[in-house]
């Protein structure tokens, strides 16, 4: 095992007579690897960080407040902007919250379409994540290769709903459109091509010696710490906690599908290090392909959307639903007073809690490691602030 930076941080002592000064570095909001507008105030001693204090709020767009003004139907396009890297799951979260309020039953074909859209969205999001991680570590090639495949997913989703990034595909009670003719054939063709490519990515970057040295053993998060910090999704599973909303608190038609929940095993050093978190995403893409094959193969007939009035007035009450977004457990809380506008909406996102753990993880790491930590936590700036 090579010397980790943590050891160096502990061993380091200032020689007598040599006064060193703590350096305050401002990483972000404009920095190449903070993926959007994140800001970290880094207290560093040369290359070694004392700590990195996350500063959030640069991308706050009052999305939750907007819902109180635009109503239930009108809020659907705004949910795309909560996490624009994987907008489908946000759509689903909002739709499910409203359906829970009004107790609407979604047609089975609608649920299948949702699952198909969401799993494609998950693959696209994880592709960006793993590609960007490679780029942050200094290898540009995985990024372009990942984006090449993501483009194809965007094409597929464009066929489905006409948009490539902010889909606005789902509606309260189902989906906006049925799948187009020939969609199943093209989607299956993509999966046939994509599945072997995951192994190719692994060959290219995941098991590269330099890459495993950079990612392995860096910033390990123990299962207890992950739970204490409320990590969710791949970050939590990277620490070896087998928890996935899709299997543990099933929603939609996920119980009908057969898939594994990959967890981190500490193959490259400590359990829950950056490499584990990264690898969970790689494995999850394979599982998403499995779900997609089953969903595309067993698509039932029928309508895709239930009958929901143009003026949607759910009875007074509140609902909290959870979906497994690409960045983990997304909670959607909505309070209704019986009018056409929600009284209060709150969205609980995975990136927010992932941001909180950075400060503790960063102590004693090197500046280059902070980049790896941010990348492996897959923080998406708009999801932090909403």
Provide the binding-site residues for another protein, judged by CB under 8 A: 2-3, 5, 8, 23, 25, 31-33, 46-47, 134-141, 144-145, 148, 193, 197, 200, 204-205, 208, 210-211, 213-214, 366-369, 371
| CA dihedral of 98, 102, 103, 107, whole degrees rounded to 10 | -60
Q: Which is nearer to another protein, 189 or 228 (CB)?
A: 189
- Give min distance, CB of 383 to another protein, in A: 21
- Give min distance, CB of 302 to another protein, in A: 36
Q: Which is nearer to another protein, 30 or 62 (CB)?
A: 30
Q: Which is nearer to another protein, 217 or 336 (CB)?
A: 217
Instruction: Give yes or no for a contact between 12 and 48, defined as CB atoms under 8 angstroms apart.
Output: yes
Q: Which is nearer to another protein, 38 or 295 (CB)?
A: 38
Strand partners, 175: 170
- Specify the residue for token string 């095993």: 265
Q: Which is nearer to another protein, 18 or 307 (CB)?
A: 18
- Give min distance, CB of 381 to another protein, in A: 16
Kindly report the number of other CB atoms within 10 A of residue 230's CB atom. 16
Instruction: Give yes or no for a contact between 155 and 93, defined as CB atoms under 8 angstroms apart.
Output: no
Q: Which is nearer to another protein, 140 or 320 (CB)?
A: 140
Rg (CA), the chain: 22
- Give min distance, CB of 38 to another protein, in A: 14
Instruction: Give yes or no for a contact between 339 and 152, defined as CB atoms under 8 angstroms apart.
Output: no
- Give min distance, CB of 2 to another protein, in A: 6
CA distance 215 to 92: 33
Q: Please, is 287 exposed, middle or buried when counting C-beta atoms within 10 Å of its C-beta (0-12, 13-18, 19+)?
A: buried
Q: Which is nearer to another protein, 29 or 71 (CB)?
A: 29
- Give min distance, CB of 141 to another protein, in A: 5
- Give min distance, CB of 36 to another protein, in A: 14
Distances (CA, A) of 211 to 140, 205, 261, 364, 370: 12, 7, 24, 20, 15
Q: Which is nearer to another protein, 6 or 241 (CB)?
A: 6
Which residue stretches of the chain are H helix?
Answer: 5-11, 63-74, 76-80, 87-102, 108-137, 141-161, 183-201, 209-215, 223-228, 233-238, 245-248, 274-297, 350-361, 367-377, 381-385
**Torsion angles phi and psi, residue 55, rounded to 5:** -125, 115
- Give min distance, CB of 360 to another protein, in A: 20
Q: Which is nearer to another protein, 149 or 287 (CB)?
A: 149
- Give min distance, CB of 104 to another protein, in A: 44
CA angle 134, 135, 139 (to 5 degrees): 75
CA distance 198 to 85: 20
């Amino acid at each position: 095992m090579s010397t980790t930076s943590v050891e160096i941080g502990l061993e380091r002592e200032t020689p007598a007579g040599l006064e060193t000064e703590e350096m305050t570095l401002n990483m972000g909001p404009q920095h190449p690897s903070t993926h959007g507008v994140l800001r970290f105030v880094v207290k560093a001693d040369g290359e070694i960080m004392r700590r990195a204090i996350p500063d959030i709020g640069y991308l706050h767009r009052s999305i939750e407040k907007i819902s109180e003004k635009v109503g239930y139907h009108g809020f659907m396009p705004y949910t795309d902007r909560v996490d624009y890297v994987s907008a489908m799951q946000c759509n689903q979260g909002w739709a499910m919250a409203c359906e829970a309020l009004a107790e609407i039953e979604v047609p089975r074909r609608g649920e299948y379409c949702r699952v198909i859209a969401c799993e494609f969205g998950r693959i696209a999001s994880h592709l960006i994540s793993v590609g960007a991680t490679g780029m942050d570590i200094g290898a540009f090639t995985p990024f372009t290769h990942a984006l090449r495949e993501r483009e194809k997913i965007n094409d597929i989703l464009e066929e489905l709903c006409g948009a490539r990034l902010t889909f606005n595909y789902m509606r309260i009670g189902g989906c906006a459109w049925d799948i187009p003719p020939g969609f199943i054939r093209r989607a299956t063709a993509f999966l046939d091509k994509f599945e072997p490519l995951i192994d190719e990515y692994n060959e290219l970057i995941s098991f590269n010696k330099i890459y495993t040295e950079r990612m392995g053993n860096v910033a390990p998060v123990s299962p207890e710490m992950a739970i204490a910090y409320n990590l969710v999704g791949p970050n939590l599973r990277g620490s070896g906690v087998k928890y996935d909303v899709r299997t543990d608190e099933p929603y939609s038609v996920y119980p009908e599908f057969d898939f594994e929940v990959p967890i981190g095993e500490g193959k490259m050093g400590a359990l829950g290090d950056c490499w584990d978190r990264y690898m969970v995403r790689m494995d999850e893409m394979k599982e998403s392909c499995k779900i997609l094959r089953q969903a595309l193969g067993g698509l039932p007939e029928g309508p895709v959307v239930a009958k929901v009035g143009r003026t949607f007035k759910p009875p007074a009450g509140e609902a909290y639903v959870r979906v497994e977004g690409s960045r983990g457990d997304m909670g959607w809380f909505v309070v209704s007073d019986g009018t056409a506008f929600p009284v209060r909406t709150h969205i609980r996102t995975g990136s927010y809690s992932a941001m909180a753990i950075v400060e503790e993880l960063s102590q004693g790491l090197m500046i280059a490691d902070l980049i790896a930590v941010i990348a492996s936590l897959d923080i998406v700036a708009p999801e932090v602030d909403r």
